[in-house]
A and B are shown apart, each in its own frame.
Chain A
């Protein structure tokens, strides 16, 4: 629109400047500067970081979207600022403005331009969703975009108000610690035994809702060692705000040592856990009481609550 400029005849007397070219020049300078800053200065610091493949992909997508959005926003803002300064009403001028009811060329350019931007964003977004195995988002019980090959299975069991993690490939022990090896694809099987939660491993760029009775699968590959913040991202009751914990990504050797050690340490508890399954029916987990007794838990701060009693802390 800026390039297809003046259509109305210049005002009589004073020569009318070429508003279109002026706007275009201002826009070009600012937009170029903004895009360079976004790509080279801002991008390395954009969330959620680069701890995993999906996080790095999201960082890249965020930067690409910003590089596309910035010129659009700057165009609109420059135009409005210019209009407000240049075309404001002067004292004593009581005439109406020029009677322009539209301009087919400008309208068509605008419509085609926005359609092209939107469709290319859609193509880009779809590619970025499918190629990195679902981009770290929960894909339901039968994922269609998978990394292939052998993955480390980690089950995330959400309940009011904590996450626990089961490692079926290591005897199915259940722990409150999320520990992952670097350089290997991880398959999170996220489920809930009471209400809807959402498993958000921030630095991994993984988010999957934990629905009761549903196994929600998400994939990612941690790329280097670091710590993870896990938060619940779906309101799940009174202590939703306190439902968070921290996990670690470590070297494969350390991970194997940790898994073997924890497996032995928790063997007596694993025996009385319900057998590993993709979903659990809370009304049928008869053995949970025994687990609580075994671990010395009283129900406060981590045990299973009957669904009809939300007021327990």
Chain B
């Protein structure tokens, strides 16, 4: 049963009186991003000193001239110092000392009252709406940074021999681009839209674990900075997969890779755990599983995969770090380890991760399409079943990344089967959209255009995925640009297009400000055309024999590669239009949009934009599903001000109904 506990009754900390308002200090004495940075710097030096003290004789251990133990302990110091500086542990320490601690709600109210403007976005805050916006801006920054690396790669590939970067710099750039995209973009939709909208969509006034949620965000900037700091240590030269023994022989930059990736794994676990518990335990009365918005199902599946898959990544990265620092030998063949172990661990996380990058996109487009078709979602249960199916199957396919590695050849038919099976639930997502389009009244708003483009791109990405699951075809395509084009179609063409759809659709909800729609259409058309013009030729390039991550290729592929490079620069220009639109609309023009511009039935649109503190005056009672467009006399989606007795009636009514069933 989805009954929310009364918001005021969260557990009081033992000892001490419930907290009153704390004294207000000058802004620079309050914990925020600047104290966190100071803490991080101090922490690095403390950790580095400790590492040199402990492991002075490890100096010659693994690579060249640096004590990797000192570097890794330095990074641990960075994280601890960063979190102390943010004030993450303040309440914990106060509680241990028996001093008064304010509850989540009290803190949120205090923050609302005390902090105006942008100051609260630089703090460790317990308001899920603030965390969502922190994630949104953070993710855009990470995406653009990694995108610049991509354009540097394409600049190098303008010529079939190496000419701009040294081979070392080139591989560093490839690694930075891949790792930054793959580790940080896991939260590109769950972070902003999941954290912000899920509680509102399920009729809750809060999330289950606001501290974990905030912590999950504040680990991302430090993971981002640590990954970038790799460049100062000479970079890492093993791509985003980091296979040993290459990653063990690599220079100290590889420590930054493993540490940042592991840290982001922890962030994923925390974010996912919070979402799972929130959706299960904090639904409003009447928000049955069959009334859950389909976006919530998508995020729920994503969160489950994050919670179950990311621990394997954290374990793998931990082993890699101990191999590199204190000479364990998990991945060294001559000493009883195995490089296969790492490949298995990595892809056991890595393949669910690919669906962590796909499911939120499914959720967004299916959430948007009924609104702009003015029709109910076709086959709601099929859509939910598709998402659950993808979530479950994603854990059984990872060895298709190892088809050429020589491991378990007799298991190949099995993994071919599981991989191909996953296209059935993915097909449901197409069925649902196509059914919804049948005799619809399609409105071509910017979010809808992005949703349509999502289906075009994901169709190509999905079908080429079936090619790759076939072992004989995989023999030629594996490790070539074909694979690279395939996953860019699913991730950039799927996830990022859905992210754009989500921004244009929900930004009025998140901020009360709408983006410029004309610029949005310009951005859509340039992005759609140049995205396809960048990645479609790469299928041919891959099948013609160009492996990934090379700076030299056959001379007859130069024309295609140049075409791709120029398209990719234009694609970058399209993203620049987005950034300009985003900054221009939210900072300079600030065109207000407080109502329900899309006439959506979604619960999140029934409250004002941006939603008031606490989302709802009282816990709403959900009366009907979110997609009942075109239904005569459809009841409103929820009663936002239920009379006091109605709550019990709704609850008991549900219980009676269940008892009868």
Binding site for B on A (CB under 8 A): 1, 8, 19, 46-48, 54, 57-58, 61-62, 65, 69, 72-73, 76-77, 79-80, 83-84, 87-90, 93, 95-103, 106-107, 110-111, 114-115, 118, 121-122, 125-126, 128-130, 132, 134-141, 143-145, 190, 194-196, 198, 200, 202, 205-209, 211-214, 216-217, 229, 231-242, 244, 281, 283, 307-311
Contact = CB atoms under 8 A, between A and B. Distances in A.
B543 interface: yes
Contacts of A84: 442, 452
Contact of B475 (A121, A137, A234, A239): A137
Given A141-B406, A216-B406, A107 B473 contact: no
Which 8 residue pairs are nearest across A and B when measured between Cβ atoms?
A213-B333, A216-B406, A96-B630, A233-B479, A241-B550, A140-B406, A97-B375, A135-B472
Contacts of B177: none
Nearest to A232: B547
Contacts of A48: 476, 543, 545
B106 interface: no
A110 B431 contact: yes
Given A65-B466, A122-B420, A311 B409 contact: no
Nearest to B433: A80
A97 B441 contact: yes
B375 A80 contact: no
Interface string B161-178: 010000110110010000
B295 interface: no
A1 B378 CA distance: 13
B434 A122 contact: no
B353 interface: no
B464 to A, nearest CB: 9
Contact of B378 (A101, A231, A239): A101
B14 to A, nearest CB: 51
Contacts of A110: 427-428, 431
Contacts of B54: none
Nearest to B418: A122
A72 B456 contact: no
A98 B471 contact: no
A238 B237 contact: yes
B238 A235 contact: yes
6 contacts: A103-B379, A125-B470, A196-B339, A207-B479, A212-B245, A212-B339
A59 to B, nearest CB: 9
Nearest to B247: A195
Interface string B604-618: 000000000000000
A99 B370 CA distance: 11
A198 B476 CA distance: 12
Nearest to A62: B473
Contacts of A214: 333, 340, 406
Nearest to B552: A241
**Listed residue (A93, A121, A206, A216) with the most chain B CB atoms within 10 angstroms of its CB:** A121
Contact of A61 (B382, B407, B472, B479): B472
B409 A99 contact: no
Given A118-B420, A128-B470, A129-B412, 6 more contacts: A1-B431, A46-B543, A137-B471, A137-B474, A235-B548, A310-B251
B243 A241 contact: no
Nearest to B445: A89
B332 to A, nearest CB: 9
Given A65-B473, A111-B424, A100 B480 contact: no
Contacts of A212: 245, 333-334, 339
B438 A58 contact: no
Contacts of B441: 87-90, 93, 95-97
A62 B167 contact: no
Given A118-B420, A138-B404, A83 B246 contact: no
A122 B423 CA distance: 12
A98 B630 contact: yes
Contacts of B466: 65, 69, 121
Nearest to B342: A196
A97 B373 contact: yes
Interface in B573-622: none
A137 B62 contact: no
A115 B245 CA distance: 41
Contact of B245 (A47, A87, A194): A194
Between B479, B543, B548, B551, the greatest number of chain A beta carbons within 10 A of the residue's beta carbon is seen for B479
Contact of A97 (B381, B412, B430, B439): B439
